[in-house]
Structure 1
């Protein structure tokens, strides 16, 4: 069971000046109107047109970064396969409509989103916007709970089984709960998101090491941060070291599949360039090719330090137009941010070109 809220996600193509002829980057700006296309738009594809606008609206209405259109689409597919008839979209326990709301839950989250004078779980707009409101609330609750793991998984479990069950198990209920229904529900949705993922936050054109690395990293936007997690093959669980990897006093990294800042960079450039694992060593491996801030190109590596090359604590990939793509810290996800605010400006150490 779930709900989607939103606004049309938009796109502005920004031509980046000062790049070589080999590299081009387009940034998607959420304040612009999304163009509709059969293959998908606004980071969404493979969705019936009557659902697309509402999914994008639901996503835009939720401030939580873990909320993306593909998550809502994959959830709708798991719930009803986008079916809307009473015959096909009524469950054996009485859940109704494409987002499969029980009547009591609908009373909390349902609204007349499409303005047709009816507040109905059978109306696509009403159902998807209610799904979005509920999932947005659950994501916020998941991140403040202190429970380890991907907040998307916790929110999905709450949608399917109720948040009380997440509290009972302090996480996603195990396979032994309810015959594995909730566990399988969560795994199925997270595993099928890529099917509905359209053009990403960053679309990179061109060739060359920098463009290829940025393209590879951009495909991981939305992946949770996990201290010590990630390697050249992709995201993985991490660990806590007494200082890092904790969220609300509990070790989050050991149960969160994701990247930290340097593993994302290592993953992005592998195998064409086999960078070391940690940020300070990645600086050492590329420091013979420094780049001034005025000459940055997509794919360049940026470093922050508490003082000198031996105290480098963070690395990001330059994404063009004054933005960086990085894994910021525990509790966040791989995301695009302005260079000026990604980390404390006074800690900016420099950039290199791998």
Structure 2
């Protein structure tokens, strides 16, 4: 299939981390200054693991809420069935089916491996996301009727000129119905890839902004020592942590541990330290009682003292959390009361 424009953003290798920890983000509902959270349909399921993080990252990088992870996943499936070596008779290449001329203009080395290649999953998916984000914005400003996602998909497949020609999605008579069917198939198969929803966060302030940023990472794997202010990355094993079924999982898992996600969430407005204990130390002069928690407050769990803190969470109210529980699991929704042992709750602070 013809694909015309691509661009992307880079994934940066992580900080080297310390303490074992988990991150939680808690859902809120309530006061005037609270953050209202509802399911956004932004979850993801049924995609190969090597595509998952990149799809979530590409979706999160776009300010347009219509670019849900499931839309990108359904589009990738239609383009290549997630096959990295896919080609077309027209000369399109890779999982997102870039034409060489388009790639020469828009390709980027988003996975940081030293080359920009349409065959690389990270490079391809991030470029797909950037193009779709741009096309959605163009669709919104065009004044054409219909679903902006459909207009963007048509532009991706046939070029925006075809959308302009018909003031909308080209009809079945155009190009043997290829573009029309392309749009219909992707929109109808999105449900196949929709997992439990990411959180759509409204509200303002540093706490709401941090929660909003953290919420984009729901579904990202836990990786001991992984993650940085730049995003998810592979971690490491230290002899005790990071192992799954006897093997070092962290070194091959792109994700976050709890304190790196807390750090990522507040960056760059607030530069939190890297570990959970250090984050408590940096904010302990602003303690918050459990009854007075507000969106974005940091919650800590410990084995007995400030030096034994092993878990940090972002508060969002209403008694729920999104957490990265441990190696082998993803950042997920869970009740605050069961996120960690209740007896280990140490306290909360406000960054």
Partner of 2:232: 235
Alignment of structure 1 residues 145-184 onto 2, 5 Å: 184=120
Instruction: Provide closer, same or farther for how the CA distance between residues 193 and 324 of structure 1 changes in structure 2, counting only shifts above 3 A.
Output: farther
The reply on whether 1:287 has 2:284 as its aligned counterpart is yes
Alignment of structure 1 residues 29-44 onto 2, 5 Å: 42-43=41-42
Counterpart among 15, 18, 23 of residue 34 in structure 2: 23
Q: 1-side partners of 2:241 and 2:195: how far apart?
A: 34
Report Cα offsets for 1:240-271 as digits up to 9, x if no partner.
Answer: 00000111110011111111000000111111
Q: 2-side partners of 1:72 and 1:203: how far apart?
A: 15
The reply on whether 1:311 has 2:308 as its aligned counterpart is yes
> Residue 315 of structure 2 aligns to a residue in which SS?
strand
Counterpart among 257, 274, 295 of residue 271 in structure 2: 274
Partner of 2:14: none
Partner of 2:328: 331
Q: 2-side partners of 1:265 and 1:186: how far apart?
A: 24
Report Cα offsets for 1:92-115 as digits up to 9, x if no partner.
Answer: 99xxxxxxxxxxxxxxxxxxxxxx
How far is the alpha carbon of 1:337 from its aligned partner?
1.7
Partner of 2:210: 213
Q: 2-side partners of 1:248 and 1:291: how far apart?
A: 39
TM norm structure 2? 0.53
Q: 2-side partners of 1:270 and 1:75: how far apart?
A: 28
Q: 1-side partners of 2:278 and 2:122: how far apart?
A: 37
Q: 2-side partners of 1:198 and 1:92: how far apart?
A: 29
How far is the alpha carbon of 1:285 from its aligned partner?
0.7
User: Where does structure 1 lack aligned partners over 5 or more consecutive residues?
Assistant: 1-13, 29-40, 45-55, 60-64, 84-90, 94-155, 157-174
> Residue 346 of structure 1 aligns to a residue in which SS?
helix
Instruction: Provide closer, same or farther for how the CA distance between residues 92 and 259 of structure 1 changes in structure 2, counting only shifts above 3 A.
Output: closer
User: Where does structure 2 lack aligned partners over 5 or more consecutive residues?
Assistant: 1-26, 47-51, 57-66, 89-94, 96-112, 133-189
Q: 2-side partners of 1:299 and 1:269: how far apart?
A: 9
Instruction: Provide closer, same or farther for how the CA distance between residues 199 and 314 of structure 1 changes in structure 2, counting only shifts above 3 A.
Output: closer
How far is the alpha carbon of 1:78 from its aligned partner?
2.5
- Residues matched between the structures, number: 218
Q: Is the CA contact 1:315–1:326 (under 8 Å) kept in the aligned structure 2?
A: no
Report Cα offsets for 1:101-130 as digits up to 9, x if no partner.
Answer: xxxxxxxxxxxxxxxxxxxxxxxxxxxxxx
Q: 1-side partners of 2:239 and 2:266: how far apart?
A: 30
Instruction: Provide closer, same or farther for how the CA distance between residues 186 and 283 of structure 1 changes in structure 2, counting only shifts above 3 A.
Output: closer
Q: Is the CA contact 1:316–1:327 (under 8 Å) kept in the aligned structure 2?
A: no
Instruction: Provide closer, same or farther for how the CA distance between residues 297 and 73 of structure 1 changes in structure 2, counting only shifts above 3 A.
Output: same
Instruction: Provide closer, same or farther for how the CA distance between residues 240 and 347 of structure 1 changes in structure 2, counting only shifts above 3 A.
Output: same
Q: CA RMSD in A?
A: 3.8
Q: Is the CA contact 1:70–1:193 (under 8 Å) kept in the aligned structure 2?
A: no
Q: Is the CA contact 2:42–2:69 (under 8 Å) kept in the aligned structure 1?
A: no
How far is the alpha carbon of 1:189 from its aligned partner?
5.4
How far is the alpha carbon of 1:213 from its aligned partner?
0.6
Q: Is the CA contact 2:28–2:34 (under 8 Å) kept in the aligned structure 1?
A: no
Instruction: Provide closer, same or farther for how the CA distance between residues 186 and 267 of structure 1 changes in structure 2, counting only shifts above 3 A.
Output: closer
Instruction: Provide closer, same or farther for how the CA distance between residues 289 and 73 of structure 1 changes in structure 2, counting only shifts above 3 A.
Output: same
Partner of 1:114: none
Alignment of structure 1 residues 252-267 onto 2, 5 Å: 252-267=249-264
Instruction: Provide closer, same or farther for how the CA distance between residues 305 and 341 of structure 1 changes in structure 2, counting only shifts above 3 A.
Output: same
Q: 1-side partners of 2:208 and 2:196: how far apart?
A: 16
Q: 2-side partners of 1:265 and 1:15: how far apart?
A: 17
Q: Is the CA contact 1:276–1:285 (under 8 Å) kept in the aligned structure 2?
A: yes
Which aligned runs of 4 or more in structure 1 are off by greater than 3 angstroms?
65-76, 183-200
How far is the alpha carbon of 1:234 from its aligned partner?
1.2
How far is the alpha carbon of 1:235 from its aligned partner?
1.1
Q: Is the CA contact 2:41–2:68 (under 8 Å) kept in the aligned structure 1?
A: no
